[in-house]
Amino acid sequence: MSGILATFGAVTLPLAALNWHSFFFVLFAAVACACAIAVVLADNVVRMALYLVLSLGATAGLFFLAGAEFVGAMQLMIYVGGTLVLLVFGVMLTAQAPFVSIKTTTGDRVLAGVVGAALLAVLLQSAFSVPAWRQPAAGTVAAPAATPVGMALLGVRVDEPAAGSPQGAVRSGYLLPFEIVSVHLLVVLVGAAYLARAKKRKTPRAIEVAASVEPPASVAEHAAVGRGAGRATSVLSGGRS
Amino acid sequence: MSGGLLGQVAAVPLFASLLTEPVSVAHYLVVGAILFAAGIVCMAVKRNALGVLMGIELVLNGANVNFVAFASPYLQGEGARGLGIDGQVIALFVILLAAAEAAVALAITLNFYNNHATVDIDRADDLKG
């Protein structure tokens, strides 16, 4: 069996020594992190959306590997299936050629990179600071979690109580948060439909935009003119620039 | 045969141990930290409103990875139990609220685009004194 080798770059391992759970973890983690960084580095908004889809999908794989099947399935259906459809529609509705990539200045990039690196250093330090979190997985095979999650959302707990909690204590389910979230989603979607409905706005800026020459020229002007510098004085600012 | 293999393994010890050792909670925390930091940088750097929105999604996703890792009974070491089902339920609520937040933020972005003919957030300065 040790004759069968798996080669990854400079590393050669006997196939039998490979921990397949760890292998798929490394695979999904690499895809998730690389695509997340690609979202930051990409300038084109369509490519950013594509990388975000890949990153969220790989994260769903990580959820499956952690034994959270229901959360992973919801991640695929709601994030990858729903949020990304929304995002792609947003991209399609707002993407005119000059606006697809809006460049950031190099100074801003460097500053954000420094802040991000500092934040990452702090988070990594705290991730490795607790010895209990570094213990390798004991490999406890747990029952599928979908039924306990569904019952908890209905307000009934069927999972085992945490170690140290008093026996027979009443543990709260999640029926009330579930109802609050459902009403919240309803209100939010009604509000979003109200905000996004097509209508003619009569704000000063809209009149100004509509009154300028033909649309392509005004679009190019908006893209070219930096903030403040050559902009026409808005009616909103009362003639003071 | 196995001696030569071990020598090669020792040459790249970190990557080899990643592939042969069982993963721990800390592995997931590292992934969550990278996603979170990438999201923060994305929110800070992008001038496109949709890019900022994608940064928020990444941040929420990184937090979710941590919740699921702490909730997973499989990843805990000997004797530890973790959050149990609570962490998974919290992750579910985060996903749902992120979807709601994305819907509202996109509606605001579309509205902004209708009014200003751009999605550059640096031009959203009508309320500046």
Amino acid letter at A143? A
**Cβ within 8 Å of residue A58, ≥6 positions away:** A28, A29, A31, A32, A35
Residues of A in contact with B12 (CB under 8 A): 9-11
Q: What is the ipTM of this complex?
A: 0.86
* pLDDT on residue B64: 94
| Distance between CA atoms of residues B41 and A228, nearest Å | 25
In this predicted model, which residue has the larger pLDDT, B28 or A105? B28
For residue A168, give how far its alpha carbon lies from the nearest alpha carbon of chain B (Å): 18
The band of A223, judged by pLDDT with boundaries at 50, 70 and 90, is low
Which residue does chain A place closest to B104, by CA atoms?
A: A192
The pair of three-digit structure tokens given for residue A132, joined into one six-digit string: 């209990």
For residue A198, the SS3 value is coil
| Facing residue for B20 by CB, picked from A5, A19, A120 | A19
The answer to whether residue A69 sits within a structural domain is yes
Task: List the single residue in A137, A188, A196 with the smallest CB-CB distance to B24.
Answer: A137
Burial of A67 (0-12, 13-18, 19+ CB in 10 A): buried
Give the residue numbers spanning the domain of A6: 1-124
B42-76 pLDDT, tens digit per residue, is 999 988 888 899 999 999 999 999 999 998 888 87
In a domain, A215, yes or no: no
Whether residue A221 has pLDDT greater than 80: no
Once rounded to an integer, what is the mean pLDDT over residues A7-22? Answer: 73
> How confident is the prediction for chain A on average, in pLDDT?
78
Greater pLDDT, B89 or A100: B89
pLDDT tens-digit readout, A47-81: 888 899 999 999 999 999 988 899 999 999 988 88
Determine the residue of chain A that is closest to B53 in CA distance: A87
Could you give the CA distance from residue B60 to residue B40 in angstroms, rounded to a whole number? Answer: 10
In chain A, the number of structural domains is: 1
The string of DSSP codes covering B66-93 is HHHHHH-TTT--TT---STHHHHHHHHH
A74 part of a folded domain: yes
Least confident range from A147-161, A182-196, B71-85, B90-104: namely B71-85
Fold annotation for B23-123: Helix Hairpins (1.10.287)
How far apart are the C-alpha atoms of A139 and A81, rounded to whole Å? 31
DSSP-derived letter for residue A165 is S
- The H or E element spanning position A18 is none
Domain ranges of chain B: 23-123
Residue A163: pLDDT over 50: yes
Q: Count other Cβ atoms within 10 Å, centred on residue A145.
A: 23
Residue A169 is assigned to a structural domain of this protein: no
- Residue B110 Cα distances to A63, A94, A222, B100, angstroms: 32, 7, 17, 16
> What percent of chain B is predicted at pLDDT more than 90?
36
Residue B8 has pLDDT above 80, yes or no: no
- pLDDT of A241 above 50: no
Instruction: Pull the structure tokens for residue B116.
Output: 């200003």
Q: How far apart are the first and last CA of chain A?
A: 77
- pLDDT, one tens digit per residue, over A170-219 is 777 899 999 999 999 999 999 988 888 876 655 666 666 666 645 555 55
Higher pLDDT, A148 or B32: B32
A76, A91 contact by CB (below 8 A):
no
Give the gap in angstroms from C-alpha B63 to the nearest C-alpha of chain A.
11
Distance CA B10, CA A12 (A): 11
Residue A241, domain member (yes or no): no
Residue among B40, B69, B37, B95 at smallest CA distance from A84 = B95
Provide the CATH number for the domain around residue A66.
1.20.120.1200
Q: Is residue A231, in this structure, part of any structural domain at all? A: no
- Say whether A6 sits in a helix, a strand or coil: strand
The residues near B115 (Cβ < 8 Å, ≥ 6 apart) are A201, A203, A205, A206
Reported as a pLDDT band with limits 50, 70 and 90, residue A6 is: low
- Residue in B closest to A143 by C-alpha: B73
Residue B48: DSSP 8-state = B
Lowest-confidence region among A157-161, A198-202, A223-227: A223-227
Q: Are residues B107 and A192, on separate chains, in Cβ contact within 8 Å? A: yes
Selected residues 106-145 of chain A with any CB under 8 Å from a CB in chain B = 108-109, 111-113, 115-117, 119-120, 123-124, 127-128, 132-142, 145
